[in-house]
Amino acid sequence: MKNPYQPRLATIDDIREEVGGQRAIKTFRLKFQDKDIQKDFNFLPGQCAMVSLFGTGECFFAISSSPTQKGHIEVSVMKLGKVTSALHECEPGDVVGVRGPYGNSFDVNGWQSKNLIFIGGGIGQAPLRSLINYVVDNRKKYGKLDVIYGARSSKDLSYKQEFAEMEKRKDVNVHLSIDVEEDGWKKFVGFVPTNLLRVKPSPKNAIAVTCGPPIMIKFVIQNLEKLGFTEDQIFTTLEMRMKCGIGKCGRCNIGNLYVCKDGPVFSYKQLKNIQGER
């Protein structure tokens, strides 16, 4: 019997600092030590992995690299608690444990030829980045692509380099924003839900995915509904405290669904119908 609690060893290949300061965000590139395991690690955007620091603990992270990028996986980590702070102290060459992939994914097959609107805020962009890069790497299969992303200030924006590259492309519409006015910032200033109303994407043949702080999700969904999106056109990812990641420890339940197993991707229609604290 396979042991789902035992992680596979992965080496930290590269660490990129996205955001500095108190709530720092770093992207870790992990390569499984066993090349066969790396090759067989098949996942879809939206799925997550449990990353362990032996002796400190484990955390559930969204895989922020796209499955089209072979040879490694990436997770973006915000420094917040015990394990994430210890991860931030790591250096390339350090070995961590990885379990996964867990959870459900975005319906990348079902969404082919649809127009896609991805709305992210802060660290919530991590699972969206996997999705965006997957769509861009399979560009012809999908319709229009609008990426709306915002953070508190320009310093808090993640994936700056990737966005700079994306803005040059003609087949992706990038709409960045920051919350408060700043010298040198020429793009939109305001909250992400407001930016969404300004962009005014059409709900026709469209799917909207949003990830970010709960308060942002609340207003984004409100505004999406104002724009005419229906509840099965809106998707989001949820997070809960997790320990096992495989639906056994009982902790991450929302009603009868487990975020680690039946999520983290949920449609707005599902969320409206489950009773349970989230």
Residues that bind another protein (CB under 8 A): 1-7, 9, 11, 33, 52-58, 80-82, 84, 90, 94-97, 214, 239-241, 243-244, 246-253, 255-256, 261, 275-278
Strands across the sheet containing 265-267: 188-189, 173-178, 145-151, 115-121, 206-211, 234-237, 265-267
Cβ 169 to another protein, closest distance in Å? 34
Cβ nearer to another protein, comparing 57 with 203: 57
- Between 2 and 140, name the residue whose CB sits nearer to another protein: 2
Q: How far is the CB of 86 from another protein (least distance, A)?
A: 9
Least Å distance, CB 257 to another protein, is: 8
In this structure, the strands spanning 95-102 and 115-121 are unpaired
Minimum Å gap between C-beta 134 and another protein is 24
Cα(1)–Cα(55) distance, integer angstroms? 25
* Residue 77 CB, nearest approach to another protein (Å): 11
Nearest approach, Cβ of residue 189 and another protein (Å): 25
Asked if 34 contacts 8 with a C-beta cutoff of 8 angstroms, the reply is yes
Which residue, 24 or 246, has its beta carbon nearer to another protein? Answer: 246
Nearest residue to 60 via CA among 256, 237, 210, 215 = 237
Whose Cβ is closer to another protein: residue 115's or residue 237's?
Answer: 237
Among residues 36 and 277, whose Cβ is nearest to another protein?
277
Nearer to another protein, 74 or 239 (CB): 239
